[in-house]
Amino acid sequence: MLTYNQMVVHMELSDGEVDRIFRALADRTRRDILRRTLQAEQSVSALAAAYDVSFAAVQKHVAVLEAAQLVVKRAEGRERLVRAHPDTIARARRLLGEYERMWRARIDRLDELLAEDP
């Protein structure tokens, strides 16, 4: 049974968006790129220098994060700058909060049922 708040969060994020966000966050390198871009806007070149993978691999990681709307990429001259998109992160956090509230309510109800049992 969905509560009103869960319905609002689900309206904010489609199932496809939720899938893209959590698939993007499933990778350690992408989580680190997101962390770095939350701290400050970074060029793709600077990001690539931080990892022991090819520039093309970092570009692909950034593309996955961008498709999930976790980062925004913009051109400045020849550089491609990447910054985190905190609104999407906040929306995902609200969704996780709704799941947490749902499970806590179920656990509370189970506790009540167990307390009633002689």
Range of the domain at 65: 4-116
Q: For the chain, what is the domain count?
A: 1
Q: What is the pLDDT of residue 114?
A: 86
- 47-66 pLDDT tens trace: 999 999 999 999 999 999 99
Question: What's the CATH code of the domain at 24?
Answer: 1.10.10.10
Maximum CA extent, the chain? 73
How far is Cα 8 from Cα 3, in angstroms, rounded to an integer?
A: 9
pLDDT beneath 70: ranges in the chain? 1-11, 117-118
> Phi, psi (5° rounding) for residue 41?
-60, 140
